[in-house]
């Protein structure tokens, strides 16, 4: 259940499905209300934190954690340190997290900077997720990369 609003006439409707139908009054397209958008962002942030902080060891969410070639080349000891830094990352702010989704961050490990980001795919990893807040419709890919690989 989610509140959507018509982009055309401002009619609000409560819809069961995540993909809203057309407005029942004017046929305009329905978009998520501010409240619903905030609720979805909070759900996404919680899922992203759970996925990242456990390195998805609990398998509660579909997804993969991958590293780029440049990170791959750094070796096992560095990978362990990066994994710890990734799990412990907790400094989200307006600059690195403007949408409140906890899907991006910068790590510093042994004086070297790394970026991590989370992308949302459909469960078959073919297209982007239609509903990143819905775990049934989303597979996450968390990528760790060198700044030069962003």
> Nearer Cβ to Zn ion, position 10 or 110?
10
> Nearer Cβ to Zn ion, position 4 or 116?
4
- State the minimum distance, in angstroms, from the CB of residue 61 to Zn ion: 35
Give the N- to C-terminal CA distance of the chain in Å, as an integer: 37
- From 8, 33, 56, 68, residue interacting with Zn ion (rule: CB under 5 A): 8
- Contact in structure between 6 and 30 (CB atoms under 8 Å): yes
Mark residues 19-58: x for contact with Zn ion by CB under 5 A, - for none. ----x-xx-x------------------------------
Cα separation values, 123 from 61, 127, 128, 137, Å: 10, 9, 9, 6
- Contact in structure between 46 and 107 (CB atoms under 8 Å): no
Cα separation values, 140 from 33, 61, 77, 109, 130, Å: 25, 8, 25, 24, 12
- State the minimum distance, in angstroms, from the CB of residue 133 to Zn ion: 24
Consecutive H or E run containing 38: helix 34-53
6 binds Zn ion, rule: CB under 5 A: yes
Only segment of 2-10, 43-51, 71-79, 126-134 that touches Zn ion (CB under 5 A): 2-10
Task: Catalog residues that contact Zn ion under the rule CB under 5 A.
Answer: 6, 8-9, 11, 23, 25-26, 28
């Amino acid at each position: 259940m989610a509140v959507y609003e018509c982009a055309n006439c401002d009619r609000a409707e409560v819809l069961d499905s995540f993909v809203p139908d057309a407005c029942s009054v004017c046929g305009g397209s329905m978009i998520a209300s501010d409240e619903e958008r905030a609720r979805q962002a909070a759900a996404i942030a919680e899922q992203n934190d759970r996925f990242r902080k456990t390195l998805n060891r609990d398998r509660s969410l579909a997804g993969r954690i991958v590293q780029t070639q440049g990170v791959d080349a750094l070796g096992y000891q560095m990978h362990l340190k990066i994994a710890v830094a990734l799990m412990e990352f907790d400094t989200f702010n307006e600059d690195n997290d403007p949408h409140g989704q906890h899907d991006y961050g910068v790590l510093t490990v042994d004086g070297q900077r790394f970026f991590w980001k989370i992308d949302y795919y459909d469960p078959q990893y073919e297209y982007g997720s239609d509903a990143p807040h819905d775990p049934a419709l989303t597979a996450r890919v968390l990528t760790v990369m060198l700044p030069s690989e962003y």
